[in-house]
Amino acid sequence: MYGEYTVGVVILAAGRSERMAGRLNKVYQEVLGSPVLNYSISTFIGTGAVDEFVLVFNEKDEDMLESRVLSTVEVDVPIETVPGGERRQDSSRAGLEYMDTDYVFVHDGARPYFSSQLAETLLEAAVEHRAAFPGVKPVDTIRENKEGFAGPTVDRDKLVRVQTPQCFERDLVFGAIDKSVKQNEYYSDDAAAVMNYANLKPRVVRGERGNIKLTTEEDIKFIELLLSS
């Protein structure tokens, strides 16, 4: 609970890890002795605000979900599992449809390194503004690519790299994603669906640079260094 509000977490773990070496879904790979997915669950529990989890999984990974995650993670709130869809938003919709809390986090299971403080700040912002996501300002010079040649330099002060977890009023985000799926319009994150279908601008909260999405084997090594430091 967060004050008088119930809070849920939808963790998306239905990906296929196509850019990883081997066939193992990256959320089940062990990092310092624990599956990647367990770190996110533990961090959300650390907020003290979560009432329920929904893990959205790839049906091909059902046995691995049970043996590597559900049988090893220790939580005192319910964890439900829901099969994911073909695309990211299909999976978000599946998880959100099952969730009936007042507010909900939607998180990529392949992002194991973020703080409970970030989650708490996002929840506070969502209660005030209905939607919030973390963003990190680019530190490199950003320049357009014009068919392989340098184009104009983009003002990086106007840009953020979008991360998860993202936090929303549950009915707001579910309605937006439901509409986008029915219209066959897909976005790379849930905040974009809220912006387009709920006509609402989410609050941007300062993100964390270590909160990377595991995509390659090099990312795994980087996260190991962060977690062991």
Domain boundaries, the chain: 7-228
| Cβ–Cβ under 8 Å, residues 46 and 90 | no
**Per-residue pLDDT tens for 120-143?**
999 999 999 999 999 999 999 999
What residue has token string 């330099």?
153
The structural architecture, per CATH, of the domain 7-228 is: Alpha-Beta Complex (3.90)
Show the low-confidence residues of the chain (pLDDT under 50): 19
Res 195: pLDDT: 96
The set of long-range contacts for 94-99, using a CB threshold of 8 Å and a minimum separation of 24, is: 94/56, 95/10, 95/11, 95/12, 95/54, 95/55, 95/56, 96/10, 96/170, 96/173, 96/174, 96/177, 97/174, 97/178, 98/54, 99/8, 99/10, 99/52, 99/54, 99/170, 99/174
pLDDT at residue 19, rounded to an integer: 47
Asked if 110 and 203 count as a contact pair (C-beta separation under 8 A), the reply is no
Residue 17: per-residue pLDDT: 53
Q: Are 211 and 110 in contact (CB under 8 A)?
A: no
The pTM of the full predicted model, rounded to 2 decimals, is: 0.92
Q: Please report the pLDDT score of residue 228 as a whole number.
A: 86
Nearest to 115 by CA among 39, 51, 191: 39
- Residue 48: φ, ψ to 5°: 75, 10
Between CA 51 and CA 9 the distance in angstroms is 8
